[in-house]
Amino acid sequence: MGHRKRGHTHAPKTPSSLDTHSSSSTLLHTDHEQGMKHRICMVSDFFYPNMGGVESHIYQLSQCLIEKGHKVVIATHAYGDRRGIRYLTNGLKVYYLPLQVMYNQSTATTCFHSLPLLRCVFVRERITIVHAHSSFSAMAHDALFHAKTMGLNTVFTDHSLFGFADLSSVLTNKLLTVSLCDTNHIVCVSYTSKENTVLRAALDPEIVSVIPNAVDPTDFTPDPCRRDNRKITIVVISRLVYRKGIDLLSGIIPELCGKHPDLCFLIGGEGPKRIILEEVREKYQLHDRVRLLGALDHKDVRDVLVRGHIFLNTSLTEAFCMAIVEGASCGLQVVSTRVGGIPEVLPDELVTLCGPSVRSLCDGLETVIARIRTGNVASPATIHRKVRTLYTWRNVAERTEKVYNRVCREPVLPFSERLHRLRSHCGAVAGSIFSFFAVITFLFLLLLQWLRPDHLIDVAIDSSGPHSQMGQQLSKKKSKTPNPALS
């Protein structure tokens, strides 16, 4: 139970010196990988109806994996009345589990209260790979811990950058070290994020891949007719929190509005720093030039972006900034701080990078404003054509699929080796504590399997994947529909 291997099995590799048909074997192995279908459970505290980059990433990646023939289900915590099982587009099944939220949409964790629920999901759906998302998600860490206890392959995607000095970062980094020390593979969204994660969790860089985020270019298309060309509009769409550099924005607004009478700000988002922007607007009497739109639904973001000329990002730390890609896809000139993984996201001709200070950002904005006044900027359509080929969800899914194929060829650590890895990799104190937790979790799993054996848990009907009942029903309906061209 602690060391069993679910999923696909493979014959051991033949050494190249003994393989007389190496080229044909490679082709056969590649064909086998292309035909391999996985049963994946995405786990995170952050999913719809909550809005954000992690939520969008999980949804879009799941849809593309379903399109490629894999079975995908999502496990998250309940959101208000949204409990139980819900179905989204293309048969994407979501389990909203009754787990208690502790802080900022993250659940409280004890490593035990979630095991009965997650075990039921993994067994019912015959999961072979558990893919957890976000260092901030306690549910993701729980799922990794339980999946390894059950002998499942695990993948983790880190969406954030962390420091090393403050208490919060130290505690989070230690938890990450425990979670990832025996995880099969880790995915980061930028090379800066990879370096950060490798250092924080003391990982072997060979098991860490870089797969960036993406945007759906059809959702973010330019519409120059929506702009008011009598003035220049700067758009900011962000959570209004310290990490997003809202203090810098509060310094930029009065300085640039004083120099440029035709300059306006359109700010979307909500957060504790909104009060600072309201105070700036009140102090400098900028009510007609600074509009605070509040929280935006994802479907409304494009309608706000196309009303602007410049997209401004003032983040103090970012692993991969989706917002600047969305802004560029809508044809805006992008000005951003040069922090984290942002310099990797867009080519130099599509973004103006500045230091994380009011002075540097004002200089960058004034340079772009001057280019707009002289007409020395690319058209929105030209910018959109360049951006739409840079990041696509199908490419992200293809690269993630290769990670899954690699993971399925790797053995799951036996329970004894897992305990040794925890003690040797996580330090004497933390390693011993979490080894104890691993033993208790394993014993709890044995108790659950005795009370309700796996074979007594009903197997769920597949709503996605190669054996999808929903897909078969749709195909039957299509076949029964008469063809009007033949009638």
| Structure tokens given for 358 | 């009011």
The domain spans of the chain are 39-214+408-456, 217-388
Q: Looking at residue 40, what is its pLDDT?
A: 96
pLDDT score for 171? 79
User: How would residue 18 be classed by pLDDT, with cut points 50, 70 and 90?
Assistant: very low
Residues 281-293: tens digit of each pLDDT: 999 999 999 999 9
Q: Which of 316, 356, 5 is nearest to 160 (CA)?
A: 316
| pLDDT value of residue 10 | 41
The pLDDT of residue 51: 75
Q: What is the DSSP letter of 3?
A: S
Cis peptide before 254 (omega within 30 of 0): no
What average pLDDT does range 61-90 have in this prediction? 93
Report percent pLDDT > 70 for the chain. Answer: 89
* pLDDT score recorded for residue 108: 75
390-446 per-position pLDDT tens digit: 888 999 999 999 999 999 998 888 888 888 888 888 888 888 888 998 899 999 999
pLDDT in tens, 125-149: 999 999 999 888 889 999 999 999 9
pLDDT at residue 9 is higher than 60: no
Tell which wins on pLDDT, 1 or 239.
239
Burial classification of residue 391, based on how many CB atoms lie within 10 Å of its CB (0-12 exposed, 13-18 middle, 19 or more buried) = buried
Q: What is the mean pLDDT of the chain?
A: 86
Cα angle 150-153-154, degrees, rounded to a multiple of 5: 105
Give the Cα separation of 334 and 365 in Å (integer).
9
- Fold classification of 217-388 (topology level): Rossmann fold (3.40.50)
List, for residues 269-278, the tens digit of each pLDDT value.
888 999 999 9
The residue among 391, 405, 398 whose CA lies nearest residue 56 is 391
Residue identified by tokens 């009370």 is 451
Instruction: Express as a percent the part of the chain with pLDDT over 90.
Output: 57
Domains 39-214+408-456 and 217-388 equal at CATH topology level: yes
Which residue type does 277 have? L
Lowest mean pLDDT among 43-47, 295-299, 336-340: 295-299
- H/E stretch holding 478 reads helix 469-480
Task: Classify domain 39-214+408-456 at the CATH superfamily level.
Answer: Glycogen Phosphorylase B; (3.40.50.2000)
